[in-house]
Amino acid sequence: MDLNLAGKRALITGASKGIGRASATMLADEGCDVILVARDAATLDEAASAIRARRQVSVRTIAADLSQQDAVERVAAEAGEIDILVNNAGAIPPGAITGVDNETWRRAWDLKVFGYISLCRAVYPSMAARRTGVIVNVIGAAGEHFDPNYIAGSAGNAGLMAFTRALGKGAKRDGVRVVGINPGPIATQRMEMLMRARATKELGDADRWRELTSGMAYGRPGTPEEIAAAVAFLASPRSAYTNATILTIDGGPG
């Protein structure tokens, strides 16, 4: 299916690996010019080179820490007018209420929660002025499940879900769409790190972490490419009547 995305300009955050990199690759495969944003310039350059080898589109990189407001403003200025924003940067650490200290909680929210909000605020006026644009916020299914052992993530993701729906509710007046995706367990480097820690604790061997995925839907985690396919579709004119809603991709309820 042609998603009618050729020639669109997309900005993807957290684009050096995982879901962000897969989303940038998928959008480039659909003909989008892409701007990759992440903190590590070397990893960004490697991702950009891989995308250029696949498809003859414009691929730019901007190294930035989106937990900082001045960096958000710089990214928005350097990117210029964009048609698609994919917010994906940020990873909130696990822990119960007494296991995440204030500094860790605030630092994590500065990148993921306020980073998403700040970048939306930076690019939305241009989209509204042109009466076109799509924002896709990749959030996380913990925002629906309220895990007490992932309390900072559950609370932050729930906040971003509400933000996405509220922004989208008003965006239709401006010709803009705002949607969210809540991935469940996805086979990324971060997931492996967390599963290794859990395997060490529960099984006494970090290398047995794959045994812990057997109870997931279909006996496996999802893939970054499965999330990226949804990102591309939701960002495309094929999904032009989808707005102010959240798509959960977790293999189905348990």
- Virtual CA dihedral for 21, 22, 28, 34, nearest 10 degrees? -30
Domain extent for 103: 9-185+223-246
198 with 100, same domain?
no
Q: 171, 243 in Cβ contact below 8 A?
A: yes
Q: 86, 23 in Cβ contact below 8 A?
A: yes
Q: Two tokens at 116?
A: 């998403």
Output the pTM of the full model. 0.96
146 with 63, same domain?
yes
178 with 192, same domain?
no
81 with 203, same domain?
no
Calculate mean pLDDT across residues 102-109: 97
Calculate mean pLDDT across residues 192-215: 92
Rg over alpha carbons for the chain, rounded to the nearest Å, is: 18
Q: Sorting pLDDT into bands at 50, 70 and 90, what band is 253? A: confident
**pLDDT higher than 80, residue 235:** yes
Q: Sorting pLDDT into bands at 50, 70 and 90, what band is 198? A: confident
User: What would the pLDDT profile of 47-100 be if each residue is shown by its tens digit?
Assistant: 999 999 999 999 999 999 999 999 999 999 999 999 999 999 999 999 999 999
User: What would the pLDDT profile of 141-179 be if each residue is shown by its tens digit?
Assistant: 999 999 999 999 999 999 999 999 999 999 999 999 999
User: What would the pLDDT profile of 129-142 be if each residue is shown by its tens digit?
Assistant: 999 999 999 999 99
140 in any annotated domain: yes
204 with 240, same domain?
no
41 with 123, same domain?
yes
Q: At what angle do helices 18-29 and 224-235 cross, to 10 degrees?
A: 50
- Catalytic annotation present for 150: yes
122 with 73, same domain?
yes
What is the overall mean pLDDT for the chain?
96
2 in any annotated domain: no
Q: 88, 19 in Cβ contact below 8 A?
A: yes
Q: How far apart are the C-alpha atoms of 181 and 194, rounded to whole Å?
A: 21
Task: Supply the CATH number for residue 106's domain.
Answer: 3.40.50.720
What per-residue confidence (pLDDT) applies to 254? 66
Q: Return the closest-CA partner of residue 210 out of 222, 192, 224, 223.
A: 192
**Single-letter residue type at 79:** A
**pLDDT higher than 90, residue 197:** no
What per-residue confidence (pLDDT) applies to 165? 98
106 with 134, same domain?
yes
205 with 118, same domain?
no
254 in any annotated domain: no
253 in any annotated domain: no
Number of domains in the chain: 2
3 in any annotated domain: no
Q: 221, 249 in Cβ contact below 8 A?
A: no
Q: How far, CA to CA in Å, does 83 sit from each of 175, 182, 215, 221?
A: 12, 22, 39, 31
- Candidate list 116, 124, 150, 241, residue with the active-site label: 150
C-alpha of 152 from chain center: 17
Q: 134, 240 in Cβ contact below 8 A?
A: no
94 with 136, same domain?
yes
100 with 40, same domain?
yes
**pLDDT higher than 90, residue 1:** no
